[in-house]
C-alpha cells in the first residue's frame, strides 16, 4: 500500500512533467525535446536565487517564471521557421531544432553551474495518510502537482482561452474559421508548458534534488509518459503519468531500479507498436 | 502521407549526379576515386604524426557511421535514432562471442553485423507495417537505444557494466592503431561509398528516390515500399554495426558511453546535416569537419555541447541543404554561366 501511494505521488509529478509536452504537440505539432531543459532552467535559477539569500517562495516563483519566459523566447525566435512547415516536416524539424536548444542549455548550465542543485528538502516527521506514513516531501510535491493539474483542467474546461486551446487541438483549421488565432494561442501554451515544466521541477526538488545534468532524463521521462498517454492528449498524460508512477514504484520496490527504467521504456515502445494513439487517443 | 515540402533539403544531387547509362558510368564513380586518392595521401600530408593519424582514423569511423545513417535517413526517410546502439550491437556482439565462446574475431564480426542488419530490417518492416510516422520511428528507435544502453549497464558479467569491456583475445590488425588501422578504416569507407553510389545508380536507388519523394505515389506505381525500406534499414545498419565492431577493436577498450546517443547519433546527425543529407560525399565532409572542430574545441569541456547545439540550430535553420549540395549547386550555376547560351 505504501508503495502504491509513493507511486501515485511520483505519478502526479510525471503527469505534471508530461502535460506540457503533450499540449505543445497536440497544439503546435511540435515535439519539444528541450522540455526537460525548461525544468532544469527553473531549478537552477531558483537554486541560484536561494543561494543569494532570497527566501524560498519568491525564488521558486521567479524560477518558474524563468522557465515560462525561456519557452516564450524560444517560441518567438527559433521556432518561427518550424511553424512555417506543416505536418510531418514540422514535427521533424521541431525535433531537430529542440535537440539543438537542449544542447545549448545543457552545455551552458553544466559548464557554469556543475554543482548547483535545487534541493527544497521539505523535512519533518512523516505524516500518516490512510494509515501509511508518508514523507512530507512527497506529500508536498503531490499537493503542488495536484493543485497545478487541477488549475490546468479548470483552465482548459471553463475559460474562454482554455476552450480555444482545446478547439485547436481538435481541429486547427476549424478553430481558425471560428476566429481563433492559433499562432497566439500556441505562444501562450508554449509559455504555459515551460511554466508547468518549471512547477514539475519544483515538485521534484521537494522530494529529491535536481541539477543541471538532469535535463535529458526528464525529457525522456516526459516523452515516455506522453507516448503512453497518447501524443496530444492531456487526459492521457494524466492517466499514463499515474499508471507509470505506480508501475515505477512497484518495480523499483520488487525488482530493482535498473530494470524499472527498461520496463518504462519497453511500455512506451509497445504502446507505439500496438496502439500508436496511446491510452486516450482517438482512433489509430 | 503527402509531402508538400522536402524536409531537410532533399537532394538535388540524387537526380542529376546519378546519371544512368553508359556515358556516366565511370564519371559517377569519380568522386569516390578522388576521395580515395585524397585520403590515401592524407597521412603523408599530416607528416605521419601519431596524434593526427588517430584523429584522421576517428574521422573515418564517423564517416562510416554517417554513410550508414545516410542510407537509412537520407535515402528512405527513416529516422533511426539508434545508430550508437547498432554500433554497440556490432561491438559488444563480437566481443562477447570472442570472450565467452572463443570465436575468432572475423566470425564474431560477421555474426554481429548480420544481427545488426536483422535489427535494422525488423525496425523498417515494423514501422512500415504499423504505418508509423517518421516521428514515431524516431521515438521507437530512441527507446531501443536507451534500453540497449541500460541492458549493457545491467548485464555486468558479460559487458563489464559501466567500467567497460576488456577483450580477452587479440583484436588483430585493427588493434595495431596507427597507419594500419587508418588504412583498414579507409578501405571500409571507400567500399561503403562505392556501394552507396552503386545502389544509387541501380533500380534500388530509383525506388529509394521515388518513395522518399512520395511514399504513396511510389506504392501506387508498384514499388514495394516495405521491401525497399527494409533493404535500406538492413544495409545501413550493417554498415554501422561493422564500423562499430571495428572501432571497438581498434580502441581495445570500450564502455556503454562509447555508444551513447550523444557520442554517436547526435554527432552523426550534425555531420550529415552539415555535409548534406542524401549526398554521396556529405558524410565524409561532415565527419572530417566535425572531427577537426571537435579536436579544436576540446579545451572548452562542457561548453562544447553548447557550441554543438548552436551549430545544429544554425544548420537546420540556415543551410538545410548542407555543404556538399550547396557547392554542387554553385558549381552547376557557374557551369551554366560559362556555357554559351543558345
Give pLDDT < 70 ranges for chain A: 121-134, 278-284
- In chain A, which residues have their Cβ closer than 8 Å to the Cβ of B135? 31, 88, 91-92, 95
**Largest Cα–Cα separation, chain A:** 56
- In chain B, which residues have their Cβ closer than 8 Å to the Cβ of A94? none
Q: Per-residue pLDDT tens for B14-37?
A: 444 455 555 567 788 888 989 998
Put simply, whether A263 touches B (Cβ < 8 Å) is no
Residue B9 confidence (pLDDT) above 70? no
Residue B1 confidence (pLDDT) above 70? no
Put simply, whether B135 touches A (Cβ < 8 Å) is yes
Put simply, whether B267 touches A (Cβ < 8 Å) is no
Right CATH for B13-259 from 1.10.3470, 1.10.10, 2.60.40, 1.20.1630 = 1.10.3470
pLDDT band of B11, cuts 50, 70, 90? very low
Q: In this predicted structure, what is the pLDDT of residue B105? A: 87
Residue with cell 514499388: B223
Domain ranges for chain A: 2-218
Q: Per-residue pLDDT tens for B58-107?
A: 999 999 999 999 999 989 989 899 999 999 999 999 999 988 888 888 89
Question: Of B318 and A191, which is predicted with more confidence?
Answer: A191
Cell of B276: 548534406
In Å, how far is A187's CA from the nearest CA of chain B? 19
Residue with cell 511540435: A30
What percent of chain B has a predicted confidence (pLDDT) above 90?
A: 36
- If phi over 0 gives left and psi between -120 and 50 gives alpha, with beta otherwise, what is residue B279? beta
CA torsion sign for A170, A172, A173, A178 is positive
With b for 16 or more beta-carbon neighbours within 10 A and e for fewer, the B281-317 pattern comes to bbbbbbbbbbbebbeeeeeeebebbbbbbebbbebbb
Residue B228 confidence (pLDDT) above 90? yes
Q: Per-residue pLDDT tens for A20-39?
A: 898 888 887 888 889 999 99
| Count of positions (residues) in chain B | 342
- If phi over 0 gives left and psi between -120 and 50 gives alpha, with beta otherwise, what is residue B77? left
Most confident of A73-87, B82-96, B128-142, B156-170: B82-96
Nearest alpha carbon to residue A205 among A89, A83, A56, A105: A56
Domain ranges for chain B: 13-259
- The 10 Å Cβ neighbour count of residue A192 is 21
Q: In this predicted structure, what is the pLDDT of residue A123? A: 63
Put simply, whether B48 touches A (Cβ < 8 Å) is no
Alpha carbons A73 and B331: distance in angstroms, whole number: 39
Residue B184 confidence (pLDDT) above 90? yes
Alpha carbons A170 and A156: distance in angstroms, whole number: 13
B154 vs A93, A95, A258: nearest CB: A258
Strand duo A132-134 + A210-211: pairing: unpaired
Q: In this predicted structure, what is the pLDDT of residue B16? A: 45
Phi, psi of B165 (to 5 degrees): -115, 135
Q: What is the dihedral of CA A216, A217, A219, A220, to 10 degrees?
A: 120
Instruction: Give, in order, the Cα–Cα distances in Å from A141 to each of A11, A61, A115, A192, A204.
Output: 11, 15, 23, 19, 7
Question: Of B342 and A245, which is predicted with more confidence?
Answer: A245
In Å, how far is A75's CA from the nearest CA of chain B? 14
**Triad B96, B101, B102: Cα angle to 5°:** 95
Query: What residue in A sits closest to B136 (Cα-Cα)?
Result: A272
Alpha carbons B306 and A108: distance in angstroms, whole number: 6
Average pLDDT, chain B: 84
- In chain A, which residues have their Cβ closer than 8 Å to the Cβ of B266? 99, 103
Chain-centroid distance of CA A229 in Å reads 13
- In chain B, which residues have their Cβ closer than 8 Å to the Cβ of A116? none
Q: In this predicted structure, what is the pLDDT of residue A82? A: 81
Amino acid at each position: 500500500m505504501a508503495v502504491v501511494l509513493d507511486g501515485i505521488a511520483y505519478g502526479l509529478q510525471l503527469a505534471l512533467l508530461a502535460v506540457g509536452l503533450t499540449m505543445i504537440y497536440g497544439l503546435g505539432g511540435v515535439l519539444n525535446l528541450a522540455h526537460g531543459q525548461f525544468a532544469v532552467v527553473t531549478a537552477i535559477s531558483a537554486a541560484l536565487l536561494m543561494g543569494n539569500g532570497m527566501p524560498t517562495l519568491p525564488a521558486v516563483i521567479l524560477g518558474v517564471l524563468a522557465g515560462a519566459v525561456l519557452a516564450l523566447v524560444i517560441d518567438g525566435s527559433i521556432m518561427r521557421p518550424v511553424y512555417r512547415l506543416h505536418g510531418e516536416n514540422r514535427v521533424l524539424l521541431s525535433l531537430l531544432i529542440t535537440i539543438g536548444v537542449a544542447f545549448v542549455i545543457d552545455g551552458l548550465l553544466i559548464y557554469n553551474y556543475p554543482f548547483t542543485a535545487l534541493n527544497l528538502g521539505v523535512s519533518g516527521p512523516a505524516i500518516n495518510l490512510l494509515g501509511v506514513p508518508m514523507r512530507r516531501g512527497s506529500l508536498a510535491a503531490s499537493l503542488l502537482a495536484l493543485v497545478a493539474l487541477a488549475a490546468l483542467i479548470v483552465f482548459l474546461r471553463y475559460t474562454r482561452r482554455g476552450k480555444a486551446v482545446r478547439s485547436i487541438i481538435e481541429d486547427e483549421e476549424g478553430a481558425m474559421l471560428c476566429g481563433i488565432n492559433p499562432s497566439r494561442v500556441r505562444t501562450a501554451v508554449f509559455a504555459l508548458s515551460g511554466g508547468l515544466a518549471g512547477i514539475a521541477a519544483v515538485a521534484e526538488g521537494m522530494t529529491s534534488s535536481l541539477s543541471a545534468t538532469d535535463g535529458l532524463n526528464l525529457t525522456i521521462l516526459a516523452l515516455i509518459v506522453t507516448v503512453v498517454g497518447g501524443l496530444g492528449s492531456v487526459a492521457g498524460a494524466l492517466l499514463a503519468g499515474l499508471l507509470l508512477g505506480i508501475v515505477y514504484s512497484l518495480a523499483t520496490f520488487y525488482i530493482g531500479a535498473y530494470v524499472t527504467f527498461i520496463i518504462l521504456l519497453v511500455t512506451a515502445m509497445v504502446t507505439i507498436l500496438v496502439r500508436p494513439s496511446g491510452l486516450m487517443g482517438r482512433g489509430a | 502521407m503527402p509531402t508538400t515540402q522536402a524536409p531537410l533539403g532533399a537532394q538535388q544531387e540524387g537526380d542529376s549526379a546519378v546519371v544512368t547509362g553508359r556515358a556516366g558510368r565511370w564519371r559517377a564513380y569519380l568522386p569516390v576515386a578522388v576521395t580515395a586518392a585524397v585520403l590515401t595521401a592524407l597521412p603523408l600530408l599530416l607528416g605521419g604524426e601519431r596524434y593526427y593519424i588517430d584523429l584522421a582514423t576517428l574521422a573515418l569511423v564517423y564517416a562510416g557511421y554517417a554513410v550508414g545513417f545516410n542510407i537509412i535517413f537520407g535515402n528512405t526517410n527513416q529516422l533511426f535514432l539508434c545508430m550508437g546502439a547498432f554500433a554497440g550491437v556490432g561491438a559488444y556482439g563480437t566481443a562477447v562471442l570472442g570472450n565467452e565462446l572463443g570465436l575468432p574475431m572475423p566470425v564474431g564480426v560477421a555474426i554481429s553485423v548480420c544481427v545488426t542488419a536483422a535489427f535494422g530490417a525488423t525496425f523498417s518492416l515494423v514501422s512500415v507495417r504499423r504505418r508509423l510516422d517518421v516521428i514515431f520511428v524516431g521515438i521507437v528507435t530512441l527507446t531501443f537505444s536507451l534500453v540497449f544502453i541500460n541492458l549493457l549497464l545491467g548485464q555486468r558479467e558479460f559487458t563489464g557494466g559501466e567500467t567497460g569491456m576488456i577483450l580477452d583475445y587479440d583484436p588483430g590488425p585493427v588493434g595495431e592503431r596507427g597507419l594500419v588501422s587508418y588504412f583498414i578504416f579507409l578501405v571500409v569507407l571507400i567500399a561503403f561509398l562505392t556501394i552507396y553510389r552503386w545502389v544509387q545508380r541501380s533500380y534500388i536507388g530509383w525506388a529509394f528516390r521515388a518513395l522518399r519523394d512520395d511514399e504513396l505515389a511510389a506504392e501506387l506505381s508498384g514499388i514495394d515500399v516495405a521491401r525497399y525500406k527494409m533493404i535500406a534499414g538492413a544495409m545501413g545498419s550493417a554498415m554501422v554495426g561493422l564500423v562499430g565492431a571495428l572501432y571497438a577493436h581498434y580502441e581495445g577498450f570500450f564502455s556503454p558511453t562509447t555508444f551513447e546517443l550523444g557520442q554517436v547519433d547526435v554527432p552523426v546527425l550534425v555531420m550529415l546535416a552539415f555535409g548534406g543529407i542524401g549526398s554521396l560525399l556529405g558524410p565524409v565532409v561532415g565527419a572530417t569537419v566535425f572531427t577537426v572542430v571537435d579536436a579544436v574545441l576540446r579545451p572548452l569541456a562542457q561548453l562544447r555541447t553548447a557550441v554543438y547545439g548552436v551549430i545544429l540550430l544554425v544548420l537546420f535553420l540556415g543551410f538545410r541543404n548542407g555543404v556538399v549540395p550547396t557547392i554542387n549547386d554553385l558549381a552547376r550555376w557557374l557551369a551554366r554561366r560559362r556555357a554559351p547560351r543558345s
